[in-house]
Amino acid sequence: MGWRESGIFDKAGKAATGSTGRDISLQRVSKRLGDVQVLNDINLEVGQGECIVLVGRNGSGKSTLLRVLAGILLPESGSMRKPMHGRIMYALDGLPRLPFTSREYLWEMGRIRGMHPEILHERIGELSELLFLGTALDQNLPQLSKGTLQKVNLIQALLPGAGGLLLLDEPLSGLDVPAQEAIVTLLGQWKQEGSSIVTACHEPLLIERLADQVIVLQKGAVLRRWSQEDLQQAGEPVVSIQSVMEGQEQSAIDTLLIEQPGVINCNRSVVHQDYGREVWNWKVSRSSTDRFIGKILAVGGSIVSVQPEESRLNMEGLMEGHHPGESVTRERNDQNSCLSPEGGGLQ
């Protein structure tokens, strides 16, 4: 794959030189908007199949950096290299409420990119179904809610399919949980197929599932860089499971469930509104969830509910530059014991 030099020079007037061998490379990039220094000496490298997540407070430079990567803004100094023929897909932070229906807008965006009509029609249908767009596909953009408008925004960026560089500015903002899960799953598949992703995001779901590196920006400069290994020190997300274990001996439950790896804690309560049945509340790591549910069923128990993941990342601490492993309050309950039933039961 060929490379092109962005044509940017440093402040001394010397041409930027050298390649790091990565697909996208920014070296000492700075940018001013009016009198404000919005980016200051940014170094960024993105390889094929990597996901870089930008975090930081409002005004930290995340959106400006994405616009530089997209080629919408040119920096005053530094250098930028990217593949000569690589395509760039960009979902900005908030789609304008243009005077089109969702379908009309997506069709025009696809045709601008040169997509074949049959392929474009198929892609609009697939992505609309993936994000549960429904009847909003034929509604006018100004009539849509923020979350639905964001779905249209994401679909237009995703139309070309996997490959190239995907730039996303707060992609999960305003989305319902099923749509968030669908987007993160799709992006994971695209990573495996070689897509490079740079996204500004504050949702732990995307960071925990996709991030190869988290870059913390503060006042236009890089405050911290955290690797995937750093993120893993925060621990896995937690899944909450409720189960009924009627007719089971305590020893059997202790042996088959409580001593299982991945169990973080448990307690049991008598639920009066459920005819006094004893309900067990478990917190388990995400990777052990399927195996653990299988164990409950194997000893004759039944599943009452499985609640969404509970992140171990503290985003406030992360944005302040704290190490991911330092910003988590962990539950330290003994994995081999459970609390006794409490009067009043579960709320």
Q: Are residues 205 and 309 in the same domain?
A: no
- Least Cα distance to 153 among 205, 109, 207 occurs for 109
Is residue 278 one of the residues assigned to a domain? yes
For residue 325, the model assigns a pLDDT of 78
Other CB atoms within 10 Å distance of the CB of residue 34: 6
Written as six digits, the tokens of 346 are 């579960």
Q: Is residue 63 part of a domain?
A: yes
275: domain CATH number is 3.30.70.260
pLDDT at position 11 is: 37
Are residues 183 and 303 both part of a single domain? Answer: no
From residue 64, alpha-carbon distances to 5, 138, 214, 221, 223 in Å are 20, 32, 17, 12, 16
Residue after which a domain boundary falls, among 182, 217, 232: 232
Asked whether residue 186 is assigned to any structural domain, the reply reads yes
Are 323 and 235 in contact by the 8 Å Cβ rule? The answer is: no
CA 331, CA 340: separation in Å to the nearest integer?
A: 18
Q: In the 8-state DSSP scheme, what is residue 140?
A: B
Q: Which residue range forms the structural domain that includes residue 221?
A: 3-232
Does residue 243 share a domain with residue 219?
A: no
Helix (H) or strand (E) holding 315: helix 315-319
Tell me if 277 sits within 8 A of 291, measured CB to CB: no
Please, which residues bridge with residue 52 across strands?
Answer: 198, 213
pLDDT-based confidence at 99, cuts 50/70/90? very high
Which range of 83-97, 223-237, 262-276, 301-315 scores highest in mean pLDDT? It is 223-237
One-letter amino acid identity for 231?
Answer: L
Same domain, 37 and 154: yes
- What DSSP string runs through 93-135? SS----SSBHHHHHHHHHHHTT--HHHHHHHHHHHHHHTT-GG
More confident residue, 319 or 252: 319
Q: Establish if 113 belongs to a structural domain.
A: yes
**Across 38-62, average pLDDT:** 95
Name the 3-class secondary structure at 182: helix
In a domain, 336, yes or no: no
* 342 in a structural domain: no
Q: Do 293 and 212 fall into the same domain?
A: no
Do 210 and 285 belong together in one domain? no
End position of a domain, from candidates 232, 265, 288: 232
pLDDT of residue 255: 66
- Please tell me the pTM assigned to this model: 0.77
| Same domain, yes or no: 176 and 262 | no
Angstrom CA distances, 38 to 19, 64, 202, stand at 25, 7, 20
Does residue 111 register a pLDDT over 70? yes
Reference 56, options 318, 334, 284; nearest CA is 318
Q: How many domains does the chain have?
A: 2
Same domain, 288 and 178: no
Domain co-membership, 180 together with 79: yes
22: domain CATH number is 3.40.50.300
What confidence score (pLDDT) does residue 233 get? 84
DSSP three-state, residue 43? strand
Claim to verify: residue 228 and residue 252 sit in the same structural domain: no
Last-in-domain residue among 169, 197, 232:
232
| Domain co-membership, 84 together with 221 | yes
Q: Is residue 25 part of a domain?
A: yes
Judging by DSSP bridges, how do beta strands 196-200 and 165-169 pair with one another? Answer: parallel
At 143-171, the pLDDT tens digits run 999 999 999 999 999 999 998 999 999 99
Tell me if 333 is assigned to some domain: no
**Does 95 lie in the same domain as 19?**
yes
Torsion of Cα atoms, 70 then 99 then 148 then 113, to 10°? -40
**pLDDT score, position 61:** 95
Contact present, 277 and 211 (Cβ < 8 Å): no
